[in-house]
């Protein structure tokens, strides 16, 4: 999921994503800011208002305590010859710059796994398939070890995929089942696809809730009113105008979801400052920032979070900042060096986490568990050198350094939260 928007719409980014024009909301909606999450209860079983928030915010899993207010972006678009008959995504193309003059000075072509992959880091599980049950199991263990309680699954409708991938909707049941074994919950990250609009997203929401809404791992967010509802992140929500979103997301819209069996919490992407007004006007319940590159966009710049949070508080919206361990996508966008953010052995991540905690959010999102192309992953990586490449790694720390840092900060977040609520 990517957003390099120093870019133009024609820039060849659409496949991995970015964010620009955003969405809206309406006054007088019920208070959707949460005190608690429906964690331990099975889906559909709301916790009464005022129930023990600690019990609801966290749970114990096989890997230790996990927190349902720490969400992590997760991708199932990877494939390899053993499971899929070919490499998928690891062989990513080198995306050309949109300006032919600049493009001419950078290499073209695609990566040649397994030695050469579309990432600056190398996964400890090697260039894996998202369809491999052992990989899924390892991923759930790692997410549990990080203490993040909700994985936010990148989702395309059946038969659709990003420009460099293949359809993966059929994998959702396996992801839900694997998550359930580790007490994790799954939320959905609705990706942009050709023809996506307010009506098609309404159809997508019905499809997801009808199919998966009763699964024990299906995530529901509990608001301050005690109402428990599904939560959806809408990537690149700004691509659809607020007037269209409001038909779906405001109570008086022509096909309003509000008050129906499919009512949910809808979180839009804020990229530019003006998006906050569009998000409000569109009827959204909150906003997230996605990008792990501080300074890349208005929304992803830590210095703007206090102001965004104040806007959200004043309009009864959730603000969900996104933090990441670093950013480097030059293996797929060789011309994008200026958006690179060095990990500094974890200090960049800790600075971002601190900035997020400073605004006292209800939920924090982590970008990402395994977006290897953009170098935002916290998944275990290993040192690797080939004849032609030296990959980055997490040394001098071990492969699970970023999982451990995430756990430390998730625990801190929840400790501080108890004090805010007092």
The whole-number mean pLDDT for each consecutive block of 10 residues of the chain, a chain of 422 residues, reads 38 34 32 36 35 59 92 98 98 96 95 98 98 98 98 98 97 98 98 98 98 98 89 98 98 97 98 98 98 96 98 98 98 96 98 98 98 98 97 98 98 92 76
Query: Does residue 343 have a cis bond before it (omega within 30 degrees)?
Result: no
Is the residue at 60 inside a domain?
no
Dihedral sign of CA atoms 378, 349, 276, 17 in order: negative
- Count: domains in the chain: 1
Is the residue at 40 inside a domain?
no
Buried/exposed 266-284: b ≥16 CB within 10 Å, e otherwise: bbbbbbbbebbbbbbbbbb
Is the residue at 18 inside a domain?
no
Which two tokens mark 279?
A: 């998000």
pLDDT at 12: 33
Instruction: Give dist(CA 141, CA 121) in Å, integer.
Output: 20
pLDDT at 200: 98
CATH code at position 135: 3.20.20.80
Instruction: Give dist(CA 24, CA 284) in Å, integer.
Output: 5
Which two tokens mark 336?
A: 């994008």
Q: Would you tell me how many other CB atoms lie within 10 Å of the CB of residue 70?
A: 25
Q: Which long-range contacts (CB under 8 A, 24 or more apart) does 394-403 make?
A: 394/343, 396/345, 397/345, 397/346, 399/124, 400/142, 400/145, 401/345, 401/346, 402/146, 402/325, 402/346, 402/349, 402/377, 402/378, 403/142, 403/145, 403/146, 403/378
Is the residue at 196 inside a domain?
yes
pLDDT at 62: 84
Is the residue at 90 inside a domain?
yes
Q: Strand pairing partners for 299?
A: none
Is the residue at 302 inside a domain?
yes
Instruction: Give dist(CA 5, CA 296) in Å, integer.
Output: 7
pLDDT at 41: 36
Is the residue at 253 inside a domain?
yes
Give first-to-last CA distance, the chain, whole Å: 37
Q: To 10 degrees, what angle do helices 242-249 and 275-282 make?
A: 30
Is the residue at 373 inside a domain?
yes
Which two tokens mark 86?
A: 């070919």
Residue span of the structural domain in which 203 resides: 67-421
Q: Strand pairing partners for 13?
A: none
Q: To 10 degrees, what angle do helices 347-358 and 401-421 make?
A: 20
What is the DSSP annotation of 356-417? HHHT--S-EEES-SS-GGGT---S-B---B-SS-B-B--TTS-TTHHHHHHHHHHHHHHHHH
pLDDT at 56: 63
Instruction: Give dist(CA 172, CA 195) in Å, integer.
Output: 22
pLDDT at 63: 84
């Amino acid at each position: 999921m990517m957003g390099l928007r120093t870019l133009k719409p024609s820039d060849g980014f659409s496949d991995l994503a970015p964010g620009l024009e955003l969405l809206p909301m309406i006054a007088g909606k019920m208070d959707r800011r949460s005190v608690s999450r429906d964690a331990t209860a099975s889906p559909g079983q709301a916790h009464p208002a005022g129930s023990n928030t600690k019990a609801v915010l966290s749970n114990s899993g096989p890997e230790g305590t996990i927190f349902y207010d720490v969400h992590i972006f997760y991708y199932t678009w990877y494939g390899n010859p053993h499971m899929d008959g070919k490499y998928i995504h690891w062989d990513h193309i080198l995306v050309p710059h949109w300006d032919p003059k600049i493009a001419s000075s950078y290499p073209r072509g695609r990566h040649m796994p397994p030695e050469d992959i579309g990432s600056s880091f190398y996964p400890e599980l090697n260039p894996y398939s998202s369809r491999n049950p052992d990989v899924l199991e390892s991923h759930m263990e790692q997410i549990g070890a990080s203490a993040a309680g909700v994985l936010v699954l990148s989702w395309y409708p059946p038969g659709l995929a990003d420009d460099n991938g293949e359809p993966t909707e059929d994998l959702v049941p396996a992801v839900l089942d694997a998550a359930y074994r580790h007490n994790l919950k799954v939320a959905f990250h609705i990706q942009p696809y050709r023809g996506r609009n307010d009506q098609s997203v309404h159809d997508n929401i019905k499809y997801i809730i009808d199919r998966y809404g009763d699964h024990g791992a299906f995530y529901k967010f509990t608001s301050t009113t005690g109402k428990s509802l599904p939560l959806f992140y809408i990537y690149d929500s700004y691509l659809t105008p607020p007037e269209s979103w409001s038909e779906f997301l405001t109570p008086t819209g022509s096909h309003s979801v509000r008050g129906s069996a499919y009512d949910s919490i809808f979180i839009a992407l804020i990229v530019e400052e003006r998006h906050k007004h569009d998000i409000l006007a569109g009827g959204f319940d909150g906003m997230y920032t996605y990008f792990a590159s501080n300074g890349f966009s208005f929304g992803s710049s830590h210095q703007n979070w206090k102001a965004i949070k104040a806007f959200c508080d004043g309009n009864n919206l959730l603000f969900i900042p996104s933090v990441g361990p670093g950013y480097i996508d030059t293996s797929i966008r060789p011309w994008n060096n200026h958006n690179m953010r060095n990990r500094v052995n974890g200090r960049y991540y800790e600075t971002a986490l601190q900035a997020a905690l400073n605004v006292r959010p209800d939920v924090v999102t982590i970008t990402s568990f395994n977006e290897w192309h953009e170098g935002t992953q916290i998944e275990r990586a290993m040192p690797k050198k080939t004849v032609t490449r030296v990959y980055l790694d997490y040394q001098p720390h071990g492969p699970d350094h970023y999982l451990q840092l995430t756990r430390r900060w998730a625990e801190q977040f929840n400790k501080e939260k108890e004090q805010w609520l007092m």
